[in-house]
C-alpha cells in the first residue's frame, strides 16, 4: 500500500466484537485467564495491551518495519537502546544531539562504563575515523536538534555494516513521511511520539522500530522488565494523530519553506538553517534521502543573544515553549531551554551559538505567522 493509506489504516481491522472503526481503549491493568496457563494473548498491561499493540503495528507499517516497541517517552526508548550495551562498550554519536539524549549519555550512561565519542557526522568519514576496537553502536540524529545537520544515512550505514555495529537513527524531526532510515541500513529507528507523530501537544511517548527479530525480542524484554510503557489512552491518541500525519507534515513543510525563505531575506537575520534551502551545506544529501524537509527552522539574529530574546518575547502567535512538532507554531531558545545542560563550550564548538532561535512551524496560515514575526522584528 502507499504511504498515505498506511498512515490512515495501519495494520488494524475493525473491532471484531463491535465493528468499531477506531481501536478501543483497553484501559485495564490485567486480564482474566481462560484457565490456568491459558490466556487470550494478554496477561498484564506492562507486558502487552491491545491498544498499545495496535499502535505498535501502525508505527511499524508507516516506518516500513516488521516490529515496533512503544515507550512512555522518546527518552525511555533511547535508554532501552543503551541497555543493549555493556560496561566498556563504545558509541560513536553525532555531535549535535538532542539535549535529553546528551544528558542520558554523558551524565548517566558513563556511570555504567559506556564510552562516547562525538563527531560531525555530516562528513561520514568522521564516523569511520572514530570507531575503536570496543565500538558497538553508531547513533545518528538527522536532521539534528537544533542545528538541523543532515547525515548521509546510506554512507554511515555501510560503515556500520562493515564493522558489525548496531546502527540507531533518530528521525523525530523528519518523520517516516519524509525519511525512513530502515531503507538506508539502520537497525533501529527512534521516534519521540510526543512530537509530529501524535502532533497535538497532548501526550508524551516514544517508539523503536526494527526489522531484526533478535533486536525486537531484546527490546521487548527490556520494555517489559523496566515498564516504561505508554498508557492505553496515550496510545489511542497517538493512533488518531497518525491518521492525519501525512496531511499535517505536508502543511508543516509548506509553511516552513515559506518562512525559511522569508527569514533568509530579512536584514536582521544573520543565518538561517533549514535543509530545504540551497544554502544548507547538506541540501543535496537531504534532497536525495528525504522526500520533504519538515517544519523545523533554526536561525540567528545580527544582534546575537539579546536580539533573539527580544524577538522571542515579542511574538504573539508563535508560542514560547519547549517541545516541537505540533500543529501550533512554537519558538524556543535552545541554549536556555532544550539544551540548557549542554556545556556552553561544547555548544560553541559545534556552531551552536547563544542566540540561536529554533522555530517549530505549525499548520496555521503562513501569512499570519510571517506577519507575527515581522511585528516582533520591529522590537529587535
State mean pLDDT over 243-248.
Answer: 98
State mean pLDDT over 125-139.
Answer: 98
Looking at residue 355, its pLDDT comes to 87
Active-site choice (149, 195, 220, 347)? 195
HSE on the CB side for 349, CA within 13 Å? 10
pLDDT, tens digit, for every residue of 169-222? 999 999 999 999 999 999 999 999 999 999 999 999 999 999 999 999 999 999
Is residue 15 among the annotated active site residues?
no
Active-site choice (95, 96, 152, 170)? 170
CB atoms within 10 A of CB 52: 27
Is residue 87 among the annotated active site residues?
no
Is residue 354 among the annotated active site residues?
no
Burial (Cβ within 10 Å: 0-12, 13-18, ≥19) of residue 15: middle
CATH for 245-377, among 3.90.1150.10, 3.40.1410.10, 3.90.340.10, 3.90.600.10? 3.90.1150.10
pLDDT, tens digit, for every residue of 30-41? 999 999 999 999
Active-site choice (9, 11, 15, 46)? 46
3-state secondary structure 324-359: CCCCCCEEECCCCCCCCCCCHHHHHHCCCCCCCEEE
3-242 and 245-377 agree in CATH topology: no
Query: Is 347 a residue whose pLDDT tops 90?
Result: no
Looking at residue 346, its pLDDT comes to 81
Query: Is 341 a residue whose pLDDT tops 80?
Result: no
Residue 192's nearest CA partner among 176, 177, 207 is 207
Report whether CATH 3.40.640.10 matches the domain 3-242. yes
Q: Measured between alpha carbons, how far is 208 from 182 in angstroms, rounded to an integer?
A: 11
Residue with C-alpha cell 536584514? Answer: 267
Q: Find the range with the poorest average confidence among 16-20, 76-80, 144-148, 171-175.
A: 16-20
Average pLDDT taken over every residue of the chain: 96
Q: Measured between alpha carbons, how far is 239 from 245 in angstroms, rounded to an integer?
A: 10
Give the whole-number percent of the chain exceeding pLDDT 90: 91
233: pLDDT confidence band, cut at 50, 70 and 90? Answer: very high
Q: Find the range with the poorest average confidence among 313-317, 323-327, 331-335.
A: 331-335
Active-site choice (26, 98, 118, 184)? 98
State mean pLDDT over 238-254.
Answer: 98
Looking at residue 300, its pLDDT comes to 94
Is residue 262 among the annotated active site residues?
no
Looking at residue 151, its pLDDT comes to 98
CA distances from 163 to 90, 122, 124, 251 (A): 13, 19, 14, 40
Domain boundaries, the chain: 3-242, 245-377
At what angle are helices 366-377 and 245-264 packed, to 10 degrees? Answer: 30
Amino acid at each position: 500500500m502507499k504511504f498515505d493509506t498506511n498512515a490512515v489504516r495501519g495494520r488494524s481491522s475493525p473491532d471484531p466484537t463491535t465493528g468499531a472503526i477506531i481501536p478501543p481503549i483497553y484501559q485495564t491493568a490485567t486480564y482474566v485467564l481462560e484457565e490456568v496457563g491459558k490466556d487470550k494473548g494478554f496477561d498484564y498491561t506492562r507486558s502487552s495491551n491491545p491498544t498499545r499493540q495496535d499502535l505498535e503495528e501502525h508505527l511499524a507499517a508507516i516506518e516500513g518495519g516488521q516490529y515496533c516497541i512503544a515507550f512512555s517517552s522518546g527518552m525511555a526508548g533511547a535508554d532501552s537502546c543503551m541497555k543493549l550495551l555493556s560496561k566498556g562498550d563504545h558509541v560513536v554519536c553525532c555531535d549535535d544531539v538532542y539535549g535529553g539524549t546528551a544528558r542520558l549519555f554523558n551524565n548517566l550512561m558513563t556511570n555504567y562504563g559506556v564510552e562516547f565519542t562525538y563527531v560531525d557526522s555530516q562528513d561520514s568519514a568522521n564516523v569511520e575515523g572514530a570507531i575503536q576496537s570496543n565500538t558497538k553502536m553508531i547513533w545518528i540524529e538527522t536532521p539534528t536538534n537544533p542545528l538541523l545537520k543532515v547525515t548521509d544515512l546510506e554512507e554511515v550505514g555501510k560503515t556500520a555494516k562493515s564493522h558489525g555495529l548496531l546502527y540507531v537513527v533518530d528521525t523525530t524531526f523528519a518523520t517516516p513521511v519524509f525519511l525512513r532510515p530502515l531503507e538506508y541500513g539502520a537497525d533501529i529507528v527512534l521516534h519521540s511520539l510526543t512530537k509530529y507523530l501524535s502532533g497535538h501537544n497532548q501526550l508524551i511517548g516514544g517508539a523503536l522500530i526494527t526489522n531484526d527479530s533478535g533486536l525486537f525480542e531484546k527490546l521487548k524484554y527490556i520494555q517489559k522488565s523496566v515498564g516504561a510503557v505508554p498508557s492505553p489512552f496515550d496510545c489511542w491518541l497517538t493512533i488518531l494523530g497518525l491518521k492525519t500525519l501525512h496531511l499535517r507534515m505536508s502543511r508543516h513543510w509548506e509553511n516552513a519553506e515559506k518562512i525559511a525563505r522569508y527569514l533568509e531575506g530579512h536584514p536582521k537575520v544573520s543565518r538561517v538553517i533549514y535543509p530545504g534551502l540551497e544554502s544548507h551545506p547538506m541540501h543535496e544529501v537531504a534532497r536525495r534521502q528525504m522526500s520533504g524537509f519538515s517544519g523545523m527552522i533554526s536561525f540567528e539574529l545580527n544582534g546575537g543573544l539579546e536580539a533573539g530574546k527580544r524577538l522571542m518575547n515579542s511574538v504573539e502567535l508563535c508560542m514560547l515553549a519547549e517541545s516541537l512538532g505540533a500543529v501550533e507554531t512554537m519558538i524556543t531558545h535552545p541554549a536556555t531551554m532544550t539544551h540548557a545542560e549542554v556545556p556552553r563550550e561544547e555548544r560553541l564548538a559545534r556552531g551552536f551559538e547563544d542566540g540561536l532561535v529554533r522555530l517549530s512551524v505549525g499548520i496555521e496560515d503562513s501569512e499570519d505567522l510571517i506577519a507575527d514575526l515581522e511585528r516582533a522584528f520591529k522590537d529587535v
